[in-house]
Structure formats: C-alpha cells, structure tokens
Structure 1
Amino acid sequence: MNLSSLLAARHAAGRPVHVALIGAGKFGSMFLSQVPHTPGLDVSVIADLDPERAREACRTVGWDEERIAATTFTADGAKAIAGNVDVVVEATGNPAVGIRHARAAIANGKHIVMVNVEADVLAGPLLAEEARKAGVVYSLAYGDQPALTAEMVDWARATGFHIVAAGKGTKYLPAYHDVTPADVWTHYGLSADEAQSAGMNPQMFNSFLDGTKSAIEMAAIANATGLDVPSGGLLFPPCGVDDLPHIMRPREQGGVLEKPGVVEVVSSLERDGRPVFRDLRWGVYVVLEAPNDYAADCFRQYGLKTDSSGRYAAMYKPYHLIGLELNISILSAALRGEPTGQPHGFRGDVAAVAKRDLRAGEMLDGEGGYTVWGKLMPAQASMHARALPIGLAHNLKLKRNVAHGAVVSWDDVAFDAENETIRARRAMEQKFSGARAEADR
C-alpha cells in the first residue's frame, strides 16, 4: 500500500524506474496511456515488430512529441532488453517469443512482467524458478485477471479463510468452443468491416470467446496459487455475483464443484442465452468458507452474501482494467522485489482440442483459430494423455486424423524435438511434473 510513496521517493531522487515494453498492442497501449501521469516511471524503449505503429500508438494514447522523441523504438526485443532498464514488460502474446524474451531478461538481470500469459502457461513455472535463482522477479501482470485473482486468494489465505473456489467471469455458451474467426464478430454484435476498421484481430478476439483464454488464465491461477483444476475441465456455470456462495460450493453442499479448492469460470449467460442477473463478466472472485462459527456470524453481521448455511461467502472485484493497472506489477518488482503472482508449480495445463474433424496433412493454426480450442486439464492428466499444449499448436502438421472434440496429442503431429520452445516446455515438464521425458517426444 506504499508503492506511490516509494515511487515518489525515487522520482525526487532523480532515479526513475526504467521500463522496456515489448509489444505495443492493446494491452501495451493501455499501459502507455498511464505513463505520462506517473512521475518516476520512464518507458525508455519500446520494441514492436512495427516501430512506426508503436510510435503512432503512443500518439493515440496522448504522448507528446517530446516524450516520443526521447524514447527508443526498435523491432528488436533483444536490443530493448539489453538496454538500461529495470523491468521488461513482455506483451507480445506469442508463447515462443515470450519464453525467449523472459530468459533474455533474466540473463540480463532484469525483472520480467509477463503479460504474455500464453507463455506463462506453457513454461512459466520453469521461467519463474530461473528468475528466483538469478535474483530477479518474474511476475504475472496486474490488471489481467490471473494476477487479480491470485491477489484475492492471497488476501483470503493471509486472513485465515479456506478457499473454496477462485476465478473470473466471462461470456460463455457451449457452442462457442467451435466458433472460428470467420463468424466471431456475430457474437460480439459487430460486422467484419466494423471490426477491421477498429483494428480488431479476429483470431485474438475468438480466443476469448471459444474458451481458450479462460482455460489459459485458469491454468495460470492454478499454477500460481496451488489451487486444483477441475478434473473434467471448466464447467462455466451461469452465475451472478449474489449467487457465488450458493453455486460455487462443493456438490455435497448443493453447489456445482467436485471439491473445494478449485479454479472455475462463471458465465454471464444462462444456457439458453439469457443474461445472468448481476453477472461478473468483467471481474474476478474468490469464494470463502468460514473456519469457525464466529467467523460465519461475522459474515452475516457485516452484510456478506452467503449461502443458506451462512458458512460460504464471496468477495469479488467487478471489473479489471487490463494495462491501465500494469504499473502495480512494474513498481512491485522494481521497488519491493515482489511479484504480483507467479507460478510455483505445474497444476494446470491447456490442451488443444479439435474444433471439427481434422484430417492428416492439415496445419494447426493455434489459439483462437479455425482448427483447435484450448481445454483446461489437470497437469498430470494432460501429461498422461500426451496432450499437445495449445501454446504449441501453431504451424504443426497433423500426421493423422483427429475427431471433432478430441484432444490433439503429440502423436498426432509432426514436430521438431530440438525446437527451442519445445525444449523449454520439456524441461518444465520434467522438473515440475516428475514425468520422464520420452525419447520420441
């Protein structure tokens, strides 16, 4: 609760926190909009595949020409990392690139804030351990739902509550799993022309709709908090904020959960498409169990919504502000040496699942694409099934047919075992799952 005063002291001493931003898309732009209003925070270098687009993004969010002229723009992420910066923000969204940048930041003694949750779920436990050994911070990105949820879990545990469930809200119907970029905009109430004129990427937006992003974010939360993953994947139960304590409790208590202590996503739509009353589409939540009768009485006395037993209650945050809140992670790393959430184990994984009958010879097109969506699985179950991680299901050719709805396995695709990203994934699996790497994997 003292980040602003710590930053003010650095500003007064003429020692600003220097940041390198890699990826000037929507998340990066939202962060950049706050920089001119945060004395003591300096984005000295911005790396983007299109540096001129990054300059224009700065103008769009309100940077003046003097600030733009004082900033280095480059297409080379490695150059940005090697500069005189304290914190690297990785916001590319590309898992392979994100892993490479994280390792480069760690090697250069820089803190790394991983906006790139796709990379975090693919190999984050390994990257976080490498950072800890190097004496730098590897952090989830505050403002994004995984870090906000991890914060709520930490708050609940630190105050002595039992965690029943934690997660976020989203717009979900079962049919969304098969949606492709060709028809995604109808579900957002937009035409393709409207979306294109707004610069919206259909594959990226589809990853939010088809369940992939939810699975990735819940895996990140599970790996950061030690919470379990539902054995059959996410349920996406329709649930408003007032019903969280009633619905998000174990089945034997009348709820939908197979057990307490799991991650889960609640839907803002009933299964027939009607909107949920007081939905949590943009927010995060944690459901608590009172550890004793006295605490349960306090729930009632202080107005918490509870289930009928009075022992289950919920806390929630109705909105998240994405990149507008990212300063919290940057300053926490630079000024406190603490992450805003980081993986400590491999509990959740996201497997590629066929959106339709796939044929041998087809090329997988990854997250939010035409061929596969990402399903949350317990890590051990994913390993046992030899499931292909969604973060690697891009530009891989199928060796055999895969039925609609089936998990794509490593045996179904041709791949280069010496690929840098695959090797990082293998190293993470070996270290954190206890699984023996097989020679043909």
Structure 2
Amino acid sequence: MNLFSLLNARRAAGKPVRVALIGAGKFGSMFLSQVPHVPGLEVSVIVDLDPERAREACRTVGWDSAQIESTNFTADSTKATSDGIEVMVEATGNPAAGIRHARAAIKAGKHIVMVNVEADVLAGPLLAEEARKAGVVYSLAYGDQPALTAEMVDWARATGFRVVCAGKGTKFLPAYHDVTPDGVWQHYGLTRSEAQSAGMNPQMFNSFLDGTKSAIEMAAIANATGLDVPHNGLQFPPCGVDDLPHVLRPRAQGGILEKAGMVEVVSSQERDGRPVFRDLRWGVYVVLEAPNDYAADCFKQYGLKTDGSGRYAAMYKPYHLIGLELNISVLSAALRKEATGQPLSFRGDVAAVAKRPLRKGEMLDGEGGYTVWGRLMPAEASLKAGALPIGLAHKVKLKNDIAHGEVVRWSDVEFDAENDTIRTRKAMEAAFAAGR
C-alpha cells in the first residue's frame, strides 16, 4: 500500500521511474493514457512496428505535444534497453518477439513486465528463472486477469485459507471452439463493417471467443500459483458470483472440480445462450475453504456467500481494467523489486487442437485463426503427448492429416529445430519437465 509514497520520494529526489513500452496497441494505449496523470513515471521510449501509429495513439489518449516531442518513437527494439530505462513493458502479443525482448531486457539489467501472456505461457518459467539469476524482476501484468487472480490466490493463502479454485469469467459456449474469424463478429453483436471501422482485429478477438485466450491465461495462473489444471481441459461452467462456492468445489462435495486446488473459467452464458444471473464475465475470483469451524462461522456472520455446508466461500473482483492498471506492475518492479505474479513452475500448457479436419500440407495460422484453438492441458500430459504449443502453431506446415478435435503434435508439423523460439521452448521443457 505504499507505491504512491515511494514514487513521490523518487520524484522529489529527481529520479523518475523511466519505462520503455514495446507495442502501442490497445493494452499499451490504455497504459499510456494514465502516464500523464502519474508524476514521477515517464515513458521515454515507445517501440512499435509503425512509430507514427504509436505517436497517433499517444495523441488519441491525451498526451500533449510537449510530452510527445520528448519521447523517442522508434521501430528499433534495442532502444528499449537504453541507458536510463528501468522497466521494459512487452505488449506485442507475439510469442517469439516477447521471448526475444524479455531476454534483451534481462541481459541489459532491466525489469520486464510481460503483458505478452502468449510468450509467458510458451517459455515464462525459464525466462523468470533467468531474470531471478540476473537480479531483475520478471512480472505478469497487473490489470490483466492472470496477475489479478494470482494476487487473490496469494491473499487467500497468506490469510490462512485453502485455495480450492481460482480463475476468471468470460463469454463462452462449447460451439465457440470451432468459430473462425469469418464468424466472430456476430457473437460480439457487431457487423463486419462496424468492426473494421473500429480497427478491430478479427483473429485477435476470435482468440478471446474460441477459448484459446482463456486457456493461455489459466496456464499462466497455474504456473504462477502452483494450482493444477483440469486433465480434460477447461469446463467453462455457467456460473454467477453467488454460485461460485457451490459450483467450484470438488466433485466429492457436489461441485465440478476433479479435486481441490484447480484453475477454471466460468461462463457468462447458460448452455442455451441465456445470460447467467450476476455473471462474472469481466472479473476474477478465488474460491476458498474455511480451515476450521470458527472460520466457517465467521463466513456466515460477515455475510459471505457460501455453499450449503458453509465451508466454501468466494471472493471476487467484478472487473479488470487491463492497461489502465499496469502502473502497479511497473512501479512494483522499480520501487519494491517485486513482481505482480510470475511463473514459478511449469504446470499448465496450451496445446493446438484442430478446429476442423486438417489436411497434410496445410499451414496452421495460430490462435484465433481458421485452423486451431488452444486447449489447456497439464504440462506433464502435454509433454507426454508431444503436443504442439499453440504459441508455435503459426506458419507451420502439416506433415499429417489431423482429425477435427484432435491435438496437433510436434511430429505432425515441419519445424526448424534451430529456430531461437523453438530452442527456448525446448530448453524450458527440459528444465521444468518435472514440474518444479
């Protein structure tokens, strides 16, 4: 609870926290919109494939001409590790770029805030270990759901509660797994022309819809908290906030979980498409268990919604503000030398699964595309199956036919074993295969 006072002290000493942002898309723009309102925090370098687009993003979010003129807009990512930068924010969404940028930051002695959860799930445990050895912070991005959920898990454990389940809400129906970019906008209540005029990327938005992004975020949470992932993938049960402790408890107690200590995503839609009452579409939650009868009595006395036994309760945050909250990660890394969540083990992985029958010679097009979606798997099971990570299922050619709904394996695709991203992933698998 002292970030603001620590920042004020740095400001008074004439030592502002200087940040480099890589990727001025929606998340980056939301972060940039807050910067002028936080004296002592400066974004001095903004790296983007289109620097002029990044300048326009700053104008759009309210930067004045003086602030824009004093900022280095560039397409050269090496500028993000220049002298004076303390924290790099990686917000490209590209797994290969994210890994490359994170390693550059670590090598240069800069803290890294990884908005790029795709890169984190692909190789985060290894990157975080490299950062710890280098004496810098590797952090999940506060404002995004993995960091917010990890914070709630940490709160529950530090207060003495057993974490039964944790995760987030989203809009989901089982049929969404097969949706392609051609059909995505009807599920958002938009026409294609409306989406195009707003500059919305259909493949990116489809990754939110088809379950891939949820799988990636739950893998990040599992790897950061040590929670387990469902053996058969996410169930996406329809569930409102009042029913969290009833639905998300072990099957032995009447819930849907295979055991306590899992991650799961709840849907804001009933299976027939009706809206869930008091849904958690935009929020995060943790289900906890009272360690004794006294604590269970306190749940009742202080109005917590519980299951019928009174021992399971839930805490939740109904919204997340994405990049508007990212300063918490940046300042925590710079001023406290603490991460707002980071992978500590390799427990969850996300495998590419065929959206339709795929034929030998076809090119995969990655998350949110026409060919595959991402299924959450226990890391041990993914490695045993030789599953192809969704983060590497882009621009690779199939060597075999794949049935609809089947997992794509490394043996099914042509890949360059000397590619830096693939080598990093293989190194991460080797280092963390035991789940440590």
Shorter-chain TM band: over 0.9
Residue aligning to 2:387? 387
Q: How far 1:83 moved relative to its partner?
A: 4.1
Q: Is the 8 A contact 1:172 1:268 kept in 2?
A: yes
Measured against aligned partners, the alpha-carbon deviations of 1:116-164 in whole angstroms (never above 9, x if no partner) come to 0000000000000000000000000000000000000000000000000
Please list, as runs of the form range in 1=range in 2, the aligned pairs for 1:342-361 lying within 5 A after superposition: 342-361=342-361
| TM-score normalised over the length of structure 2 | 0.99
Residue identity opposite 1:331 in structure 2: L
Residue aligning to 1:398? 398
Residue identity opposite 2:153 in structure 1: V
**2:284 pairs with 1:278:** no
Q: Quote the Cα distance in structure 1 between the aligned partners of 2:117 and 2:271.
A: 28
Q: Quote the Cα distance in structure 1 between the aligned partners of 2:338 and 2:286.
A: 22
Residue identity opposite 1:363 in structure 2: M
Q: How far 1:86 moved relative to its partner?
A: 0.2
Distance change (3 Å), C-alpha of 1:84 and 1:385: same
Aligned partner of residue 223 in structure 2, secondary structure: helix
Measured against aligned partners, the alpha-carbon deviations of 1:207-254 in whole angstroms (never above 9, x if no partner) come to 000000000000000000000001110000000000001000001101
Measured against aligned partners, the alpha-carbon deviations of 1:382-433 in whole angstroms (never above 9, x if no partner) come to 0011000000000000011000000000010000000000000000000001
Residue aligning to 2:27? 27
**2:304 pairs with 1:307:** no
Q: How far 1:434 moved relative to its partner?
A: 3.9
Aligned partner of residue 89 in structure 2, secondary structure: strand
Residue aligning to 2:99? 99
Residue aligning to 2:116? 116
Q: How far 1:110 moved relative to its partner?
A: 0.0
Q: Quote the Cα distance in structure 1 between the aligned partners of 2:359 and 2:333.
A: 47
Residue identity opposite 2:333 in structure 1: A
Aligned partner of residue 414 in structure 1, secondary structure: coil
Q: Quote the Cα distance in structure 2 between the aligned partners of 1:114 and 1:233.
A: 25
Q: Quote the Cα distance in structure 1 between the aligned partners of 2:160 and 2:409.
A: 41
Q: Quote the Cα distance in structure 2 between the aligned partners of 1:12 and 1:31.
A: 23
Aligned partner of residue 163 in structure 1, secondary structure: strand
Residue aligning to 2:161? 161
Please list, as runs of the form range in 1=range in 2, the aligned pairs for 1:69-218 lying within 5 A after superposition: 69-218=69-218
Q: Is the 8 A contact 2:18 2:42 kept in 1?
A: yes
Residue aligning to 1:323? 323
Q: Quote the Cα distance in structure 2 between the aligned partners of 1:188 and 1:17.
A: 39
Q: Quote the Cα distance in structure 2 between the aligned partners of 1:152 and 1:82.
A: 35
Q: Quote the Cα distance in structure 2 between the aligned partners of 1:82 and 1:251.
A: 53
Runs of 4+, deviation exceeding 3 Å: none
Measured against aligned partners, the alpha-carbon deviations of 1:242-294 in whole angstroms (never above 9, x if no partner) come to 00010000011011111000000000000000000000000000000000000
Q: Quote the Cα distance in structure 2 between the aligned partners of 1:321 and 1:395.
A: 32
Q: Quote the Cα distance in structure 2 between the aligned partners of 1:53 and 1:193.
A: 22
Q: Quote the Cα distance in structure 2 between the aligned partners of 1:218 and 1:387.
A: 17
Q: Is the 8 A contact 1:121 1:220 kept in 2?
A: yes
Q: Is the 8 A contact 1:74 1:80 kept in 2?
A: no
Residue identity opposite 1:377 in structure 2: M
Listed as ranges, the gaps of 5+ residues in structure 1 are: 436-441
Residue aligning to 1:335? 335
Q: How far 1:167 moved relative to its partner?
A: 0.1
Q: Quote the Cα distance in structure 2 between the aligned partners of 1:434 and 1:421.
A: 21
CA RMSD of aligned residues (A): 0.7
Q: Is the 8 A contact 2:156 2:288 kept in 1?
A: yes
Q: Quote the Cα distance in structure 2 between the aligned partners of 1:18 and 1:167.
A: 32
Q: Quote the Cα distance in structure 2 between the aligned partners of 1:429 and 1:314.
A: 34
Residue identity opposite 1:383 in structure 2: L
Q: Quote the Cα distance in structure 2 between the aligned partners of 1:336 and 1:216.
A: 28
Q: Quote the Cα distance in structure 2 between the aligned partners of 1:146 and 1:152.
A: 10
| TM-score normalised over the length of structure 1 | 0.98
Aligned partner of residue 341 in structure 1, secondary structure: coil
Q: Quote the Cα distance in structure 1 between the aligned partners of 2:82 and 2:103.
A: 12
Residue aligning to 2:366? 366
Residue identity opposite 2:66 in structure 1: E
Measured against aligned partners, the alpha-carbon deviations of 1:322-375 in whole angstroms (never above 9, x if no partner) come to 000000000000000000000000000000000000000000000100000000
Q: Is the 8 A contact 2:46 2:73 kept in 1?
A: yes
Residue aligning to 1:225? 225
Q: Quote the Cα distance in structure 2 between the aligned partners of 1:434 and 1:330.
A: 31
Q: How far 1:77 moved relative to its partner?
A: 1.2
Residue identity opposite 1:254 in structure 2: G
Residue identity opposite 1:256 in structure 2: I
Q: Quote the Cα distance in structure 1 between the aligned partners of 2:182 and 2:43.
A: 37
Residue identity opposite 1:364 in structure 2: L
Residue identity opposite 1:407 in structure 2: V
Q: Quote the Cα distance in structure 1 between the aligned partners of 2:340 and 2:59.
A: 29
Q: Quote the Cα distance in structure 1 between the aligned partners of 2:241 and 2:144.
A: 19
Q: Is the 8 A contact 2:234 2:376 kept in 1?
A: yes
Q: How far 1:19 moved relative to its partner?
A: 0.1
**2:13 pairs with 1:18:** no
Q: Is the 8 A contact 2:362 2:397 kept in 1?
A: yes
Q: How far 1:82 moved relative to its partner?
A: 2.9
Identity of aligned residues (%): 82
Aligned partner of residue 182 in structure 1, secondary structure: helix
Aligned partner of residue 169 in structure 1, secondary structure: strand
Q: Is the 8 A contact 2:364 2:396 kept in 1?
A: yes
Q: Is the 8 A contact 2:45 2:79 kept in 1?
A: no
Residue aligning to 2:433? 433
Residue identity opposite 1:34 in structure 2: Q
Measured against aligned partners, the alpha-carbon deviations of 1:21-75 in whole angstroms (never above 9, x if no partner) come to 0000000000000000000000000000000000000000000000000000000
Q: How far 1:12 moved relative to its partner?
A: 1.1
Q: How far 1:84 moved relative to its partner?
A: 2.3
Q: Quote the Cα distance in structure 2 between the aligned partners of 1:11 and 1:42.
A: 11
Q: Quote the Cα distance in structure 2 between the aligned partners of 1:81 and 1:388.
A: 32
Residue identity opposite 2:112 in structure 1: I
Residue aligning to 1:439? none
